């Protein structure tokens, strides 16, 4: 087999592996996987929002996943490591999956888009662009693009500071595609430096589990799984005012 065919086969297998992990460890908030070959076998680093779900009780989850990667994806002696994502809201993969879950549960696409946009910008992104396409309202396909902040579109700056991901979700109307591009502030280049306002002091609330006073945002992020996180967000999303509701008030 030629070198070109080997590259194509490896890339195809990696795509299948990513699709499998996106579904298999969905509740762990899967973002991406780093795969590298070592003298001892294949090292797989999984970046997730909740490592405990992947590891499982006494490592049972890791063992099952290791056997699956070895048998179904032919990885030689896979060695799995799990790393926690510090800021899930700045991961395009995590936010794509969350937005897809909202659409699957019947949330209006514009409400889900506005909520996702708001969450990403509030967590320190320099800019974000969300593109949603498919049968959004009727039989005819359409697309909408929503942007906030500063987002380089092309060139070296875009390659350095912009991350993106694409996910597809099946709804009652048909297949819908979601593409999220996020400009990470930590990778900032002087030309795109933003003047940020002084952050407001976080509201203190009582943590129901520990009984201690914590920042409201810290308590909110204690959902044990991604499914719980989606359910919490759905309740908050009801308070969000869409463009249609704003227009209705003006009429």
The predicted-structure confidence for 50-90, as pLDDT tens digits, reads as follows 888 888 888 888 899 999 888 888 888 888 999 988 888 99
Tokens 């308070």 — which residue? 239
CB proximity list for 106: less than 8 A, separation 6 or greater: none
Q: How confident is the model at residue 16, as a pLDDT?
A: 87
Mean pLDDT of 191-219: 55
Helices (H) and strands (E) in the chain, counts: 9, 9
Span 3-18, pLDDT tens digits = 777 778 778 888 888 8
User: By the 8 A CB rule, do 47 and 31 touch?
Assistant: yes
| CA distances (Å), origin 112, targets 46, 98, 203, 208, 240 | 27, 9, 25, 28, 10
Lookup: tokens for 177: 């595609």
CB proximity list for 198: less than 8 A, separation 6 or greater: none
Mean pLDDT of 194-216: 56
User: By the 8 A CB rule, do 215 and 203 touch?
Assistant: yes
Mean pLDDT of 186-209: 57
- Domains of the chain listed by start with CATH number: 3-84 (3.30.300.20), 88-249 (3.30.1140.32)
Listed as own residue / partner, the contacts of 237-244 with beta carbons closer than 8 Å and 24 or more positions apart are 237/102, 237/107, 237/111, 237/112, 237/115, 240/111, 240/114, 240/115, 240/118, 242/108, 242/110, 242/111, 242/114, 243/110, 244/110
Q: How far apart are CA 43 and CA 35, in angstroms?
A: 6
């Amino acid at each position: 087999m030629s070198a070109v065919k080997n590259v194509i086969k490896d890339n195809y297998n990696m795509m299948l592996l990513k699709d499998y992990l996106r579904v298999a460890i969905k509740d762990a908030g899967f973002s991406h996987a780093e795969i590298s070959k070592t003298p001892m076998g294949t090292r797989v680093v999984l970046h997730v929002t909740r490592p405990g779900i992947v590891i499982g009780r006494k490592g049972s989850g890791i063992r099952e996943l290791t056997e699956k990667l070895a048998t179904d994806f032919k990885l030689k002696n896979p060695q799995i490591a799990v790393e926690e994502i510090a800021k899930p809201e700045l991961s395009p993969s995590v936010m794509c999956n969350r937005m897809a879950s909202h659409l699957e549960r019947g949330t209006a696409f514009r409400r889900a888009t506005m909520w996702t946009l708001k969450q990403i910008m509030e967590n320190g992104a320099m800019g974000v662009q969300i593109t949603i396409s498919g049968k959004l309202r009727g039989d005819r396909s359409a697309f909408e693009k929503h942007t906030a902040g500063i987002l380089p579109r092309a060139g070296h700056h875009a390659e350095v500071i912009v991350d993106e991901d694409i996910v597809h979700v099946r709804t009652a109307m048909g297949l819908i595609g979601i593409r999220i591009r996020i400009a990470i502030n930590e990778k900032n280049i002087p030309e795109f430096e933003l003047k940020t306002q002084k952050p407001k002091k976080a509201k203190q609330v009582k943590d129901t589990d520990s009984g201690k006073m914590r920042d409201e945002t810290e308590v909110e992020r204690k959902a044990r799984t991604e499914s719980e996180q989606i359910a919490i967000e759905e309740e908050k999303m009801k308070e969000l005012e869409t463009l249609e509701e704003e227009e209705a008030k003006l009429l």
